[in-house]
Amino acid sequence: MAYAHAGESGVAILVYHRFGDTVADTMTVRVSTFEAQLRFLKEHGYHIVPLREAVAWLRDPSAPLPPQPVVITVDDGHRSVYERLLPIVLRERIPVTLFIYPSAISNASYALTWDQLRSLKQTGLFDIQSHTYWHPNFKVERRQQAPAEFRQFVHWQLQRSRQRLESETGAQVDMLAWPFGIHDDDLMALAADEGYVAAFTLEARKADRHARPLALPRFLMMDAYGPAALAHMLGESAAQPTFVAKEAQ
């Protein structure tokens, strides 16, 4: 069977935020950097798989997954997903999961509109999932609220996000990216209560079957992480010299 040894070392889940021609801030990855990363993955035998398929494999060893699996996720819902990432996704036919906090959509100047988000989903290549309703810092909120009030606040953030995303886009929302990667046992229990089956942190390692489903790790991607750095993340001994040269430019 082709997938008999798929993903035995785990799944690398990458998380991006913004894309551009230049590095406007620490969370912006240049389109040229992203394109170079995709070339590296293709030339080194990696398979970009939907996040949902990776989660299914993590939960069920009999679920199929190709060897050397990599997942691409993008947090926050910035407009550059539509303007810069979409053409690449359509050309390469790669699956992407977007973690969205709905309060910004059609509201903040930097964010996607609901029409754009629906258009992304209609391509069949973008999955839409929750990043809470307005991306709160749960550590700060916990300090400022009484325990019962805080629990109610978390429930509202998780429930309202899912309801708004599902009603606006028709997506099945049952996965969550923790804002700022902040999570703990209490937060995970609240997420489980709200019906989330998987949630994601910013811990830089591969996800394997030992990881907790509501605290699955992801690699935070920055523009400095060209193909050579990506190769190191994925456990490669070294990238091809041509990619190293490009990264150094």
Q: How does pLDDT run across 35-60, given as a tens digit for each residue?
A: 999 999 999 999 999 999 999 999 99
Main-chain phi, psi angles of 67, to 5 degrees: -65, 155
Cα dist. 78→58, 84, 100, 236 in Å?
A: 29, 10, 9, 31
Task: Work out the angle at residue 199's Cα, subtended by the Cα atoms of residues 106 and 135, and round it to the nearest 5 degrees.
Answer: 35
- Here the tokens at position 127 are 């999955």
- pLDDT above 50 (res 249): no
Least confident of 8-12, 29-33, 41-45, 147-151: 8-12
Length of the chain: 249
* Residue 73, strand partner residues: 15, 97
pLDDT the model gives residue 61: 79
Residue with tokens 């990696």: 46
pLDDT in tens, 189-209: 999 999 999 999 999 999 999
* 47-48/28-30 β-pairing: unpaired
Cα–Cα dist 249/247, whole Å: 6
**Residues 73-98, mean pLDDT to the nearest whole number:** 98
pTM, full prediction:
0.91
Which residue type, as a one-letter code, is found at position 69?
P
Chain centre distance of CA 126:
11
